[in-house]
């Protein structure tokens, strides 16, 4: 699939923010909170808690795919506008990669062509008002490890999802980040890492981020 045509609508320039993106279960929110604690960044968390549609979506994806994606798109646009007003913001997922889920759901027949085209039109209208982040962090993870973390996390609505859904999501994420070129990207493979509980793993991840940010300042 071709994601590249959607990148060109992002305005030139960089907003002073870091985006952490990855499939479900990779540790986006955990890393975002670590960056807030260790580096003093201001967080903008993905609207998962108190989301009125997420549980319904996992029980009936075809019915709720469009409404959920519009909910996320609207919330992420609000977050990114707020984050753009301050220095040193960090977001766990953002509007830049929002298209990944919509494209996957459309390709799998769980979003109609009319809904997808409307979604893309709205996405492109919004992205024209955005600048890319100073750094995009992609947490790369294997499907099996992501599923293990999802099981351990224990959210009921995630436990009913079939293995093939997580496989497709991982594939679409890899395709997206193979094409993404709107900002610098730091890819960190997090298989076998526990940067939440292990100080060694946490320092390893933070040092890679610090090094990348220093390189971008040169």
Which comes out higher in pLDDT, residue 155 or 134? Answer: 134
Q: What is the pLDDT of residue 78?
A: 92
Phi then psi for residue 63, to 5 deg, are: -75, -40
What is the arithmetic mean of pLDDT over 141-159? Answer: 86
> 37-41, 53-57, 78-82: which range is least confident on average?
53-57
3-state secondary structure of 74: helix
pLDDT per residue as tens digits for the range 180-193: 888 999 999 999 99
Question: Is 151 annotated to bind ligand?
Answer: yes
What is the arithmetic mean of pLDDT over 154-168? Answer: 83
- Among 60, 92, 191, 210, the active-site one is 92
Average pLDDT, the chain: 90
Question: H-helix or E-strand containing 28?
Answer: helix 28-39
Structure-block tokens of residue 161 = 């999802």
For residue 8, pLDDT beyond 60:
no
> 11-20, 120-129, 192-201, 205-214: which range is least confident on average?
11-20
Q: What is the pLDDT of residue 7?
A: 61
Which comes out higher in pLDDT, residue 4 or 195? Answer: 195
Q: What is the pLDDT of residue 145?
A: 94
Structure-block tokens of residue 207 = 């040092």
What is the arithmetic mean of pLDDT over 41-57? Answer: 82
Q: What angle do CA 64, 137, 185 make, to 5 degrees?
A: 115
- Residues 6 or more apart from 46 whose CB is under 8 A from it? 28, 29, 72, 76, 91, 92, 93
Rounded distance between C-alpha atoms, residue 126 and residue 218, angstroms: 31
Question: Is 58 annotated to bind ligand?
Answer: yes
Report the predicted TM-score, pTM, of the whole model to 2 decimal places. Answer: 0.92
Rounded distance between C-alpha atoms, residue 206 and residue 200, angstroms: 10
What is the arithmetic mean of pLDDT over 184-206? Answer: 96
DSSP 6: G
What is the arithmetic mean of pLDDT over 48-65? Answer: 83
Question: Is 195 annotated to bind ligand?
Answer: yes
DSSP for 84-144, written as a single string? TTSSSEEEES-GGGTHHHHHHHHHTTSS-HHHHHHHHHHHHHHHTT-EEEEEEEEEE--HH
Whether 15 and 33 have beta carbons less than 8 Å apart is answered as no
Q: What is the pLDDT of residue 96?
A: 86
Annotation says 37 is catalytic: no
Pick the CATH number of 4-217 from 3.40.50.300, 2.130.10.10, 3.90.1300.10, 3.50.50.60: 3.40.50.300
Question: Is 103 annotated to bind ligand?
Answer: no
Smallest Cα–Cα separation from 195: which of 26, 24, 46?
26
């Amino acid at each position: 699939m071709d994601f590249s045509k959607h990148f060109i609508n992002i305005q030139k320039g960089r907003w002073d923010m870091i985006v952490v993106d990855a499939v479900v279960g990779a540790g986006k929110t955990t890393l975002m909170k670590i960056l807030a604690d260790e580096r003093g960044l201001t967080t903008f968390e993905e609207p998962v808690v108190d989301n009125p549609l997420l549980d319904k979506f996992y029980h009936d994806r075809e019915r709720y795919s469009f409404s959920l994606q519009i909910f996320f798109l609207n919330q992420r646009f609000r977050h990114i506008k707020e984050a753009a007003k301050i220095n040193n913001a960090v977001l766990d997922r953002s509007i830049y990669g929002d298209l990944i889920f919509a494209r996957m759901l459309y390709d799998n027949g769980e979003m109609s062509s009319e809904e997808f085209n409307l979604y893309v039109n709205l996405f492109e209208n919004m992205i024209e008002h955005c600048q890319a982040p100073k750094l995009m962090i992609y947490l790369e993870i294997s499907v099996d490890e992501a599923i293990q973390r999802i099981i351990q996390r224990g959210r009921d609505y995630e436990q009913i999802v079939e293995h093939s859904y997580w496989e497709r999501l991982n594939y679409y994420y890899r395709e997206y980040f193979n094409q993404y070129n709107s900002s610098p990207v730091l890819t960190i493979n997090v298989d076998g890492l526990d940067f939440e509980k292990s100080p060694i793993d946490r320092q390893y991840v933070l040092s890679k981020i610090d090094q990348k940010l220093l390189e971008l300042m040169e």
